[in-house]
Amino acid sequence: MNNLSRRQIIKYLSLMSASVVSRQTWGSPPDTRHETPTPPASITAEDNDLGGNFSYIYHRDELREQFYHFLVNVFHLYPEQELHKLIQSVATSYSADKAIYQQLQQNLGNIKPFLSELTFALPALAKQKETMREQTCSLLDTNRRYEGYLEIGSTGRYLDTLEESLDIVGERFFIAEQLPSYSLADMLDRGQIIEAGHSIPLADYSPALASTIPKQSLDLVTVYIGLHHCPPSLREQFIGSIRDAMKPGAYLVVRDHDAHNEDMQAMVGLAHDVFNMGTNESWDYNNKELRHFYSLAFLDDWLSRSGFKSNGEKLYQHGDPTRNALMLYQKV
């Protein structure tokens, strides 16, 4: 738990006392040869007749080794060597993403340590929050006050950590697929028991912002999940509604992947697949998830045409092969 500060440990333990936790360095990638999994009964020949992200990455030595560092430095919800070895073994035995995805989920219990929520999930969450705080604060003026805050993609995951360094006051809004709850997972995610602010359903990227957030009322908007899940037909409408809610000169913090070629499209796609697989989302959920990846050059052009100006910086997370860059834009 070396990624958790004393303050964070105390906070997480106090939250966990409200419920009961149920069981559930850089280095060279481990040897991933030889072991063959037992086929699950639910997989048919038809399910396994096409390739996908798993095969694309894990059948290419260089890309496979790069993805291992995603498991170590970003995902880190399971022992990375065991998970890497399991993925390689299953991807060798099956072709289609559906077959590999379902087989992996049936075998995750074999590599999941007891109380892995404490030894893997919480440190991974703390590391991501701290990385986002450090990078965000390096782009923003930490000596000024930000009145009005909107976080897109979660119900308050990053606000608590940002407030350690930024003076954020006024109304706080959150747009996410799911509304917040008082489940242990949600409380740990947002870092507090009570809800962090006003929650707005994402509504398939058609949120009712105009009736919830006053126009020109926000100083700071963060989108740490990127904008690549937004359907192309709704891009202008969605970013326009965000821009309308921002004050003149307000800041937009965006983190997104530079999926500029086929290799990066597969790398980023597999990162999404593994995240969903490892957090127990169904194959149907993963298969239906909207992913409209693009290059950062495309994103910059889109935001520039939508009334935003970039400061020109791109901050990447150390050891992340998905080239997920944090960027700062200002409403002009």
Tokens of 214: 């006053």
Determine the pLDDT at residue 28. 42
Determine the pLDDT at residue 37. 44
Q: Where do the domains of the chain lie, and which CATH numbers do they carry?
A: 52-113+261-291 (no CATH), 127-259+294-331 (3.40.50.150)
Determine the pLDDT at residue 17. 42
Angle CA(257)–CA(151)–CA(247) in degrees, nearest 5? 105
Determine the pLDDT at residue 42. 46
Distance CA(59)–CA(62), nearest Å, equals: 9
Determine the pLDDT at residue 117. 75
Determine the pLDDT at residue 208. 87
Element (DSSP H or E) covering residue 28: none
Distance CA(223)–CA(32), nearest Å, equals: 36
Angle CA(22)–CA(82)–CA(117) in degrees, nearest 5? 20
Tokens of 62: 């260089």
Tokens of 288: 């239906």
Determine the pLDDT at residue 189. 67
With beta carbons less than 8 A apart as the criterion, state whether 87 and 104 touch: yes
Determine the pLDDT at residue 143. 97
Element (DSSP H or E) covering residue 125: helix 122-139
pTM assigned to the model: 0.83
Ramachandran bin of 125, using left for φ above 0, alpha for ψ from -120 to 50, beta for the remaining angles: alpha
Below-50 pLDDT ranges, the chain: 1-46
